């Protein structure tokens, strides 16, 4: 969810080093964390908006309040929850 | 203890509720109590949480969905139009979506959900529940008199607060966990700050609203809950069951008002056996009421010569209830 920051035309040496270190040390960890975060996001939408895919979950009045915030995620969420599992799930 | 002394001794009890089975006189007593308090110089709002409200009928004035309507000096009455409330709420959500994403129109899929959610049976109750929060949070009145729904619904109304609260607690926890992951990623990426989680903020807002409402219902200091009964077996059995359930939800029961008592004076007159039998039957159950609720019985209200509608009748009833 990070915003694009306007990049400077030429990166300094330390900036490059920082990115290399990041790639070597923590890129995997943050990717993993992001993935976990994404599945939790989907779980959250399921709990609040379950009605949308036919799972009735209490209570609709207040879940409507949350609806605007999850609008962009709705289609990926539906795709993820309703798709069949295949071998690529294990790979990615 | 009489109703009058109860009110005089506990001026801090600002939220007054009358509960009971349907058709026993909840609305009538709500109106009469509101009338009496208003005539004592208190600023009173009597409002109905019943989708089939009858305050309009008793005050003989169409107040449905019109916000607080002034009935007389110090007295306002309000009937919540749940459908209107839901419509406004839906539009608010739609507008928010359009504003947030700059859409021309709400996407089909989302629109369908908004409409489907509003067709849920719980929606109407929830909308009223939410509207009540707005009313009581306003705090402009000395007294708020709830003209409650019949027992079954009232219990649902009470339990709804608990269910909502648990639901919100669970998802708030999940949301907070998600937040931790997000922060971890930002730390790894050495980003300074994460965006504020709008959803978490919304959830906290919802929780405050629900708590406000349920806190009032169960506030022993500020709330007085009266059960309306009539001296008949079925009513007594149901009321006792309900009273136990209400006690479980920590609703402070302040007393019982017995309605439709046929005047004993009639016995000295030449009355048909039909009426005599009714009085005898009532005597039996009045004794039972006395055993069951004892000192908690706040008032006996006689069967009047006509139905209570319009201010003169309300005034008369208030006089009887509050012993003036």
Could you give the number of structural domains in chain B?
2
Cα(A75)–Cα(B118) distance, rounded to whole angstroms? 21
**CB within 8 Å: B178 and A41:** yes
Instruction: Print pLDDT tens along chain B (324 aa).
Output: 688 998 999 999 999 999 888 889 999 999 999 999 999 999 999 998 777 778 999 999 999 989 999 999 999 999 999 889 999 999 999 999 999 999 999 999 899 889 888 887 778 888 888 888 889 888 789 999 998 877 666 666 667 777 777 888 888 888 888 888 888 888 887 776 666 788 888 888 888 888 887 788 788 899 999 999 999 999 999 999 888 888 888 888 899 999 999 998 888 888 899 999 999 999 999 999 999 998 899 999 999 988 999 999 999 999 999 986
Question: Same domain, yes or no, for B12 and B116?
Answer: no
**CB within 8 Å: B127 and A61:** yes
Nearest Cα residue to A40 out of B220, B296, B199: B199
Pick the residue from chain A with its C-alpha nearest to B198. A69
Which residues of chain B have a CB within 8 Å of the CB of A37? 178, 181-182, 185
pLDDT of residue A1: 45
> Can you tell me the ipTM of this complex?
0.73
Cα(B209)–Cα(B298) distance, rounded to whole angstroms? 33
**CB within 8 Å: B110 and A75:** no
CATH number of the domain residue B57 falls in? 3.40.50.300
Question: Same domain, yes or no, for B134 and B13?
Answer: yes
Domain residue limits, chain A: 13-84
Question: Same domain, yes or no, for B20 and B139?
Answer: yes
Among residues B71, B104, B121, which one ends one of the domains? B121
**Residues of chain A by 3-state class (helix, strand, coil), percent to 5:** 75, 0, 25
B48 located within any domain? yes
CA distance B9 to chain A (A): 39
**Residues of chain B by 3-state class (helix, strand, coil), percent to 5:** 60, 15, 25
Pick the residue from chain A with its C-alpha nearest to B100. A68
**CB within 8 Å: A30 and B189:** yes
Q: Per-residue confidence at A13, pLDDT binned at 50, 70, 90?
A: confident
Which residues of chain B have a CB within 8 Å of the CB of A66? 199, 202-203
Question: Same domain, yes or no, for B103 and B232?
Answer: no
Which residues of chain B have a CB within 8 Å of the CB of A47? 170-171, 174
CB nearest B178 (choices: A44, A51, A71): A44
Q: What is the pTM of this model?
A: 0.80
**CB within 8 Å: B174 and A43:** yes
Question: Same domain, yes or no, for B246 and B109?
Answer: no
Question: Same domain, yes or no, for B95 and B47?
Answer: no
Cβ atoms of B33 and B147 within 8 Å: the answer is no
Question: Same domain, yes or no, for B111 and B231?
Answer: no
B283 located within any domain? no
Written as one string, the DSSP assignment of A26-41 is THHHHHHHHHHHHHHH
**CB within 8 Å: B110 and A67:** yes
Question: Same domain, yes or no, for B102 and B136?
Answer: no
Pick the residue from chain A with its C-alpha nearest to B191. A2
Cβ atoms of B314 and B39 within 8 Å: the answer is no
Look at residue B257 and give its three-state secondary structure: strand
Q: What backbone phi and psi angles, to 5 degrees, belong to B67?
A: 75, -170
CB nearest A34 (choices: B89, B90, B185): B185
Question: Same domain, yes or no, for B47 and B97?
Answer: no
Cα(B291)–Cα(B73) distance, rounded to whole angstroms? 40
Domain that residue B21 falls in: 3-84+123-152+220-262+289-321
B168 located within any domain? no
List the beta strands (DSSP E) in chain B.
15-19, 44-48, 69-72, 75-79, 143-147, 223-229, 253-261, 297-302
The answer to whether A81 contacts chain B (CB < 8 Å) is: no
Q: Which residue has the higher pLDDT, A22 or B156?
A: A22
How many Cα atoms within 13 Å fall on the side-chain side of residue A12? 3
CB atoms within 10 A of CB B261: 19
Pick the residue from chain B with its C-alpha nearest to A57. B167
Which residues of chain B have a CB within 8 Å of the CB of A68? 93, 96-97, 100
Pick the residue from chain A with its C-alpha nearest to B192. A2
B277 located within any domain? no
Q: Dihedral through CA B94, CA B96, CA B102, CA B104, nearest 10? A: 20
Question: Same domain, yes or no, for B36 and B115?
Answer: no
B303 located within any domain? yes
**CB within 8 Å: B182 and A66:** no
CB nearest B199 (choices: A1, A66, A75): A66
CA distance A41 to chain B (A): 7
Question: Same domain, yes or no, for B40 and B102?
Answer: no
Among residues B121, B141, B169, which one ends one of the domains? B121
The answer to whether A67 contacts chain B (CB < 8 Å) is: yes
B64 located within any domain? yes
When scoring B86, B107, B184, B192 by the number of chain A Cβ atoms within 10 A, the one with the most, hence best to mutate, is B184
Look at residue B78 and give its three-state secondary structure: strand
Look at residue B225 and give its three-state secondary structure: strand
Cβ atoms of A55 and B157 within 8 Å: the answer is no
C-alpha distance from residue A18 to each of A1, A7, A25, A26, B122 (Å): 21, 15, 10, 11, 54
The answer to whether A17 contacts chain B (CB < 8 Å) is: no
Question: Same domain, yes or no, for B13 and B112?
Answer: no
Which residues of chain A have a CB within 8 Å of the CB of B202? 65-66, 69
């Amino acid at each position: 969810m990070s915003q694009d920051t306007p990049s400077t035309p030429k990166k300094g040496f330390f900036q490059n080093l920082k990115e290399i270190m990041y790639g070597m040390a923590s890129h995997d960890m943050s990717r993993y964390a992001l993935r976990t975060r994404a599945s939790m996001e989907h779980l959250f939408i399921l709990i609040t908006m379950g009605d949308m895919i036919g799972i009735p979950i209490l209570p609709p009045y207040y879940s409507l309040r949350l609806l605007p915030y999850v609008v962009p995620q709705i289609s990926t969420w539906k795709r993820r929850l309703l798709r069949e599992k295949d071998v690529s799930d294990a790979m990615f | 203890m009489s109703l009058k002394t109860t009110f005089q001794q506990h001026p801090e009890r600002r939220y007054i509720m009358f509960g009971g089975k349907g058709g026993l006189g909840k609305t009538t007593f709500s109106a009469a109590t509101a009338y009496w308090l208003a005539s004592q110089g208190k600023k009173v709002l009597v409002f109905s949480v019943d989708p089939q409200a009858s305050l309009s009928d008793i005050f003989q004035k169409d107040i449905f969905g019109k916000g607080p309507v002034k009935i007389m000096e110090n007295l306002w009455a309000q009937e919540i139009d749940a459908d209107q409330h839901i419509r406004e709420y839906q539009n608010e959500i739609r507008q928010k979506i359009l504003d947030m994403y700059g859409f021309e129109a709400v996407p089909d899929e989302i629109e369908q959900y908004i409409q489907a959610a509003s067709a849920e049976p719980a929606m109407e109750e929830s909308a009223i529940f939410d509207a009540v929060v707005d009313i009581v949070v306003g705090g402009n009145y000395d007294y708020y008199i709830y003209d409650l729904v019949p027992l079954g619904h009232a219990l649902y109304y009470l339990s709804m607060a608990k269910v909502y609260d648990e639901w919100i607690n669970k998802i708030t926890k999940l949301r907070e966990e998600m937040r931790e992951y997000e922060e971890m990623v930002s730390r790894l990426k050495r980003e300074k700050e994460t965006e504020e989680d709008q959803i978490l903020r919304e959830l906290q807002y919802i929780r405050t609203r629900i708590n406000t409402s349920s806190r009032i219902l169960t506030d022993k200091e500020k709330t007085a809950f009266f059960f309306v009964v009539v001296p008949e077996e079925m009513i007594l059995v149901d009321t006792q069951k309900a009273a136990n359930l209400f006690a479980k939800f920590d609703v402070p029961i302040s007393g019982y008002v017995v309605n439709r008592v046929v005047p004993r004076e009639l016995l000295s007159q030449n009355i048909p056996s039909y009426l005599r039998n009714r009085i005898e039957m009532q005597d039996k159950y009045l004794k039972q009421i006395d055993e069951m609720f004892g000192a908690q019985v706040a008032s006996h209200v006689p069967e009047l010569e006509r139905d209570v509608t319009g201010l003169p009748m309300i005034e008369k009833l208030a006089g009887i209830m509050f012993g003036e």
